[in-house]
Amino acid sequence: NSPEIGSRTRTRAIMERYGVRTKKSFGQNFLTDLNVLKKIVDAADISKNDNVIEIGPGIGALTEQLAQKAGEVLALEIDQDLIPVLTEVLAPYDNVKVLNQDVLQANLPELIKQEFADPARPIKVVANLPYYITSPILMNLLASPVNWATICVMMQKEVAQRLTAKPGTKQYGALTLAIEYQMEAKIAFDVSRKVFVPSPNVDSAIVVLQPRSTTLPVQPFNKQKLFGFIRGCFAHRRKSLWNNLQSVISKEPVAKGKMTMILNNLGISPQIRPEKLTLEQFIDLANALHQQAL
């Protein structure tokens, strides 16, 4: 009976036996703390009724913990050198499938249909993300038509703080709003850099995303245009909303007249910083500008 994969001794033994050398280019930092691994599975609230997608199984430390709690686990790993390792170390678990795939290229709705015995069960994403592509992965997950029951992911602490930031803070920005548009985000707990092999030079946090419990009181006229507008408004965070609007919309006197009227109608001061606006206010503003053909 060998110890679980996520223990330091077993991780070392696996890496030695298969000659695994972690690749920086794939953001490989393996988690070697069973306590933390089990806490992640708890935070994701996994049961035998759940289908789990894991992004980046590495050498299978988290995958093994998920397999013990979930109905089925589908793990997508970009590094083909790790596939034979995963096949062997996860052999005791018949509810795990590992695919050699780049999650950013994967057709997730199709995979869910093909790979899970019962695709109608709740689909949860659990991962210790490769930090260099945290935002693209999250944006991809949210853009896909899959109804994620939970997305429970480890990321750099600083990014976790951006996802859960409140208006008026330094961390609040386009990423916060893109998440808030669809999900409720909370930090479950922080994780020290010391529990990884190799140890990254940042601390981490587990973020749990769940579908919004309330629908937005206003809908944008166009979601993509709304987020293009929001990113534009945050281009110069230190400048006023008014300054940013002139760069994003127009500096023409007629347009500026309309913009003044819109801000006035919405009760938004032109002099505030963009980071003070709530998602609702951004939607109201984008809709009003659109209505005025701006």
CB of 79 to ligand SAM, least distance (A): 4
Q: What is the footprint of ligand SAM within residues 47-106 (CB under 6 A)?
A: 55-58, 61-62, 76-79, 102-104
Nearer to ligand SAM, 57 or 220 (CB): 57
Secondary structure in 3-state letters for 69-121: HCCEEEEEECCHHHHHHHHHHCCCCCCEEEEECCCCCCCHHHHHHHHCCCCCC
Residue pair 56/23 in contact (Cβ under 8 Å)? The answer is no
CB of 62 to ligand SAM, least distance (A): 5
CB of 36 to ligand SAM, least distance (A): 9
Is residue 243 annotated as involved in ligand binding? no
Q: What is the footprint of ligand SAM within residues 131-170 (CB under 6 A)?
A: 133
What is the rounded distance in angstroms from the CA atom of residue 247 to the CA atom of residue 136? 26
Query: Which structure tokens are listed for 39?
Result: 């806490």
Give the nearest residue (CB) to ligand SAM: 56
CB of 137 to ligand SAM, least distance (A): 7
Cis peptide preceding 3, ω within 30 of 0: no
Is residue 128 annotated as involved in ligand binding? yes
Sketch the per residue contact string, 18 through 47, with ligand SAM: x for CB under 6 A, - otherwise.
--------xxxxxx----------------
Q: What is the footprint of ligand SAM within residues 179-208 (CB under 6 A)?
A: none
Q: Does 128 bind ligand SAM (CB under 6 A)?
A: yes
What is the rounded distance in angstroms from the CA atom of residue 199 to the CA atom of residue 203? 9
Is residue 29 annotated as involved in ligand binding? yes
Is residue 102 annotated as involved in ligand binding? yes
Q: What is the footprint of ligand SAM within residues 197-256 (CB under 6 A)?
A: none
Contacting residues toward ligand SAM, per CB under 6 A: 26-31, 55-58, 61-62, 76-79, 102-104, 128, 130, 133
Binding residue ranges: 29, 31, 56, 77, 102, 128
Q: Residue ranges for the binding site for S-adenosyl-L-methionine? A: 29, 31, 56, 77, 102, 128
